[in-house]
Amino acid sequence: MKARESGMPEETYWERFFDADAVLKLLFKASGLTGHLVEFGCGYGTFTVPAALRTQSIVTALDIDPQMVERVRQKIEAQGLSNVQAEVRDFVADGTGLDSGTQDHALIFNLLHLEQPVALLQEAHRVLHDDGMLFIMHWRSDIPTPRGPSLAIRPRPEQCQSWLEEAGFRNVESVNLQLCCPYHFGLLARK
């Protein structure tokens, strides 16, 4: 099931909105990058490849779009990475296919405008081990941005925090992304 108003622009245009290395430094400064990571909605692999370059553990990259998964596979092959498992998967409807408690980190970027965000967060909670960390990044809803879903369906950070708590997460904290992704907000949460 695709999220409302989903779809990817041309890759070079898309990647102008993110400094993936800076985002990952912020995330892993808080938690260290050890253990397995699952990325919900990997898209072009904007974050998949930099994450895989930072760890020896398995990075599971999931996306509903076969073209996106193929692009990620091309990138990991070009980089010679053997620690990425890229897979076409409707994780909203069918889950990740990962065993419970097997992941140390989860990434959910630009997806919480879907119709049932708590169900997605519950799946992330299920696959994370105790004390595992989820990083959320989404388009800001307080300003117009050059991309992203309509402002009417974008979640606010407070909504996301409430959904995270409903899904069972604790210790939710805000991450300042202004220097690397000024059109986005970030949240970290622990299982």
Question: What is the CATH number for 120?
Answer: 3.40.50.150
On whether residue 132 sits in a domain, the answer given is yes
Give me the pLDDT at residue 3, please.
55
Domain count along the chain: 1
Helix (H, G, I), strand (E, B) or coil at 180: coil
On whether residue 5 sits in a domain, the answer given is no
On whether residue 41 sits in a domain, the answer given is yes
Give me the pLDDT at residue 30, please.
61
pTM: 0.90
Question: What is the overall mean pLDDT for the chain?
Answer: 89
Give me the pLDDT at residue 6, please.
57
More confident residue, 152 or 81: 81
Nearest CA to 62 out of 85, 93, 33 is that of 85
Q: Residue 29 contacts by C-beta under 8 Å, 6 or more apart in sequence?
A: none
Q: Residue 158 contacts by C-beta under 8 Å, 6 or more apart in sequence?
A: none
On whether residue 2 sits in a domain, the answer given is no
- Quick one: average pLDDT of 77-82? 96
Give me the pLDDT at residue 14, please.
67
Per residue in 49-63, pLDDT (tens digit) is 999 998 889 999 999
More confident residue, 13 or 159: 159
* d(C-alpha 36, C-alpha 106), whole Å: 9
Nearest CA to 190 out of 119, 116, 105, 122 is that of 105
User: How many Cα atoms are found within 13 Å in the side-chain-facing hemisphere of 35?
Assistant: 17
Give me the pLDDT at residue 26, please.
79
How would residue 19 be classed by pLDDT, with cut points 50, 70 and 90?
A: confident
On whether residue 141 sits in a domain, the answer given is yes
**pLDDT value at 180 more than 90:** no
Range of the domain at 141: 11-190
How would residue 4 be classed by pLDDT, with cut points 50, 70 and 90?
A: very low
On whether residue 134 sits in a domain, the answer given is yes
* d(C-alpha 115, C-alpha 87), whole Å: 23
Per residue in 140-162, pLDDT (tens digit) is 999 888 888 888 899 999 999 99
Please report which helix (H) or strand (E) contains residue 80, including its range.
none
- Inter-residue contact 38 to 60 (CB < 8 Å): yes
On whether residue 3 sits in a domain, the answer given is no
Q: Which amino acid is at 1?
A: M
* d(C-alpha 97, C-alpha 55), whole Å: 22
On whether residue 30 sits in a domain, the answer given is yes
